[in-house]
Structure 1
Amino acid sequence: MITENLFFALQRLQDTIDTLILWVDSLCINQSNNDEKSKQVELMGSIYQQAACVIAWLGPAVDESDLAMRALDNIGYQCLSAGSKMGPIGSDERRRKNHDMHLKLLSISTIYNDPKATFPLHPVIALFRRPYWQLI
């Protein structure tokens, strides 16, 4: 049975990608069999690690969730760019870049601690209160 949530997720995905192979846990796992669910949950870490791409459907856009997603995407991008190309473990290059990354992350955090900043706190909180996060 396809849930309303899965219906909306599939509807959203159909316009974005030509061909897509999906593993949908709510369909691939017998939801009425607790033993099967427990066994599959143990495998989920491995399944997600081996996936080429993981899409988590949080629900349709409401309550300024687009604003929250853009803010979180921006933070993620800045953090990734601060930590990219670190160099070999133990190298002087890595120590220098580690220090640079630390300074960059500190500067990112100060931006969002600035009272004048327009970080969308309430939309982000609403996003993290969605039912999806109760599953994790």
Structure 2
Amino acid sequence: MAWDSLGFALGEAGRAGEAVGAHIRARDLFQGVGNRRGEAAAWNNLGAALGDTGRVEEAVEAYEKALEGYREFEDWYGAGQTLSNLAFGHRYAARPAEARTNYLQSADAFTRANAPTEARTRAEAITP
């Protein structure tokens, strides 16, 4: 968890390249001990750091890995956050149809997580 937190702090400090390395380390450690929930969070955070470095396709792949983990545990709030991040990734990769689908899926996941405000916010993101 410390490596993941360090990655987040590095990202906030504008040191996205170093953040990528910290999130990779966190992901690998979570994998090593079989902590799938921690691994999902690290994949999601890695996606954000990769996006910040302009590596959009790799970010999308990381978000997809995170989503697998969150769905495995029926963590709908985490899935909602990741789907929203995935939507941004697709939007930046000029794939508006995929982005729209992910925004809608994000709203659904937040509804399942009993987070109506988050669901409404995601649904409004796709309104022209």
TM-score after normalising by structure 2: 0.28
Q: Which has the higher helix share?
A: 2
> Which has the bigger relative contact order, CA under 8 A and spacing at least 6?
1
